[in-house]
Amino acid sequence: MNLALCQKNYVQMLIAENPIICTCHHRYFNEILESLPHHTEKASVEWVQKLTGASTGCGSCLAKVEGIVECYRLKPQVFTKDP
Ligand code: FES
């Protein structure tokens, strides 16, 4: 996810559509989100890799996972359904 796309409308659309992020390990967007820690400062690609296996195969999804983690760290409010 490009940081320019780290907007509430876009993230909420991704949550609803739940696209696949990592084809090697069959991990979908919401599985990546569910793996993220409650404390945003602890969120990292390594954290997601350890809990989901995403981005530990061919690596082609690394940019997507990095984008999700960075968006979550910088703007966690876009992931909630609150107005
Ligand atoms: S697509 Fe995620 S590691 Fe290959």
The pLDDT tens digits of the residues spanning 30-72 come to 999 999 999 999 999 999 999 999 999 999 999 999 999 999 9
Provide the token pair at 72: 């979550």
| Domain count along the chain | 1
pLDDT at position 4 is 86
**Domain encompassing residue 75:** 3-79
**Closest by Cα among 40, 25, 28, 45 to 79:** 40
Q: Atom 2 of ligand 1 has which residue's CA nearest to it?
A: 22
The pLDDT of residue 83 is above 70: no
Strand partners, 81: none
Q: Is 57 in the pocket of ligand 1 (CB under 6 A)?
A: yes
Protein residue with least CA distance to atom 4, ligand 1: 58
Task: Kindly state if the Cβ of 65 falls inside 6 Å of ligand 1.
Answer: no
What was the pLDDT predicted at 81?
79
Pocket test for ligand 1, best of 20, 35, 45, 60 (most atoms within 8 A of CB): 60
